[in-house]
Amino acid sequence: MKTAQQKISLLLIITLLGLFPVFPSAKVGVGDAVAEPALQTQTAQGADMPGDAVIADSHLAVSYLTLAPGSNEQRLNFSWHTKAKAEERKPLVRIWKQGGEAMEFAGESSENPLRISGMYYHRVTVTGLEADTSYAYQLGNGNGEWSLVYTTKTGNPSSFSFLVCGDPQVIDSVSGAAWAATVTAALARFPDVSFMMGTGDQVENPEKKCFDAFFMPEELSALPFATCVGNHEYAPGSYHAAHYMFNPPNWQTKPAADYWYRYGDALFMVTNCSTGMNTRAVRAHGAFIEQAIAQNPDAKWRILTFHYDVYGQGQSHSRRSGKDYRNLYVPIIDQYGIDAVFNGHDHSYSRSKQMMFSGNPNNSGSVGMQETVFDADGMALNPTGTVYFTLNSASGRKPYGLAPLKEYTAFMNQNRQKNITVVHMTADTFRCVTYEVSVDGELTEIDSYGIRKTR
Ligand SMILES: [Fe+2]
Ligand SMILES: [Fe+2]
């Protein structure tokens, strides 16, 4: 008897055979000639969870397959794991659009420092992708074996949407299924999102059973995911180890696994604050931000993600770690003109007023809050300062209590439900809407906030 995943895999193969050529003509971008895909009559034999090997006769078995945004919208970063022998550590991605020629790209392999089942971590960057285009792809091991065919679709950089998830923090198949249900419900409502950002704490612990649960959403083979290191995936002695489950672009080894990517008119920056918030760390993150902006001087929007909430409403975090961030990191965020910050950690939702450094980490005065003018559509018009979003958990795990409403808070919510955020951006507008996800997959709006820039 086939499991649900086996049935889905078979259905996917049948669908893909109709949509894409089984034997795409090969145009070799990197390396040797492309081998012919072997896709005729195999039976997929899925495992209980996607974190385990998904095996198909005659196919390369891959685990933890995920995409990440590339450094710009013409690129995608792929990563996956296999139990590879030495001769099977030459990772390849073969990708083609309907009726098009296949392009092939080579990458690198290394041991995963998290030592997940002795697997090897493979990563490949694909370039030259067209906007608004459906692609099919396969993963290769350089030894003649290829994976099943998967699909992905690029977006339109001039008007695009993306999801943002807070703290899935999954630990087992139950929380993994809740997380997967959120992803499925969000994509059913917003099928054209270009990627998804995380605000950290993807897992409860950096270990196999948690990553098995995190990779339960099959959509992660199609939807690029921009990870963020939270305190729960922080592996002592290897501060960036959690990135080895993903493949972020422009990944800096110093400082602390920060990275950036560009999409349309927006520059997205992610900083790993799991190594602590102090003067030295702030200086390093500031240098990274300065460098990312210098490489993207024409980006009209600057979006920053890191795990720890700055202007959160969490009962304990807003009193403790939040103070350090307000005192040390906000002046840097002001200096570099960040439009919006996405944080997690609190497992509750809040949105700040437009903020700048007040000189007082408690924000007991009014200096930090900026006067904001709203246009006829309710959009903040050319606001000064930065809006800070603290996101609730996408799996609904660990809903912490709220502190009494802070002076810096514009809106807060603790619904003890699964939450997901969608952002729509054009050259002039930013609209961020947060939803709660019901058990039957309905999305109900919690909060909405927009910014319009006319200059
Ligand atoms: Fe968390
Ligand atoms: Fe956290």
Query: How far is residue 455's CA from residue 300's CA, in Å, rounded to a whole number?
Result: 9
Angle at 113 between CA 110 and CA 114, to 5 degrees: 125
Asked if pLDDT for residue 11 goes beyond 70, the answer is no
Q: What is the pLDDT of residue 112?
A: 82
- Of all ligands present, the nearest one to the C-alpha of 204 is 1
Q: Is the bond into 69 cis (omega within 30 degrees of 0)?
A: no
How confident is the model over 34-61, as a mean pLDDT? Answer: 42
Distance 276 CA to ligand 2 centre (A): 12
Q: What is the pLDDT of residue 236?
A: 67
Q: Which of 127-131, 244-248, 363-367 has the highest mean pLDDT?
A: 127-131
- Of all ligands present, the nearest one to the C-alpha of 347 is 1
Q: What is the pLDDT of residue 238?
A: 66
Q: Does the fold of domain 159-452 match that of domain 4-153?
A: no
What's this model's pTM, rounded to 2 decimal places? 0.88
- Token pair, residue 200, equals 């950290």
Q: pLDDT-based confidence at 363, cuts 50/70/90?
A: low
Q: What is the pLDDT of residue 43?
A: 26
Distance 180 CA to ligand 1 centre (A): 17
- Of all ligands present, the nearest one to the C-alpha of 398 is 1
- Token pair, residue 294, equals 């210098």
Q: Does residue 126 come out as left (phi exceeding 0), alpha (psi in the -120 to 50 range) or beta?
A: beta
Is 159-452 a CATH 1.10.10.10 domain? Answer: no
- Of all ligands present, the nearest one to the C-alpha of 348 is 1
Going from the C-alpha of 200 to that of each of 154, 223, 238, 243, 309, the distances in angstroms are 24, 17, 16, 11, 11
Bridge partners of 303, per DSSP, are 268, 340
Q: What is the pLDDT of residue 275?
A: 79
Residues with a beta carbon under 5 angstroms from ion ligand 2: 201, 230-231, 345
Distance 219 CA to ligand 2 centre (A): 24
Instruction: Name 404's Cβ contacts closer than 8 Å, sequence gap at least 6.
Output: none
- Token pair, residue 75, equals 């690129």
DSSP string, 185-226: HHHHH-TT--EEEE-S--BSSSSHHHHHHHT--GGGGTS-EE
Asked if pLDDT for residue 188 goes beyond 80, the answer is yes
Distance 169 CA to ligand 1 centre (A): 6
- Of all ligands present, the nearest one to the C-alpha of 171 is 1
Instruction: For residue 355, give the amino acid letter.
Output: M
Distance 380 CA to ligand 1 centre (A): 30
Distance 399 CA to ligand 1 centre (A): 9
Residues with a beta carbon under 5 angstroms from ion ligand 1: 167, 169, 201
- Token pair, residue 65, equals 């397959």
Distance 196 CA to ligand 2 centre (A): 19
DSSP string, 336-370: TT--EEEE-SSSSEEEE-SB---S-TT--SSTTBP
Instruction: Name 229's Cβ contacts closer than 8 Å, sequence gap at least 6.
Output: 200, 239, 240, 242, 243, 257, 272, 274, 307
Asked if pLDDT for residue 208 goes beyond 50, the answer is yes
Q: Comparing C-alpha atoms, which of 348, 447, 343 is closest to residue 401?
A: 348
Q: Which CATH class is domain 4-153?
A: mainly beta
Task: Please give the DSSP secondary-structure letter assigned to residue 36.
Answer: P
Q: Where are the domains positioned within the chain?
A: 4-153, 159-452
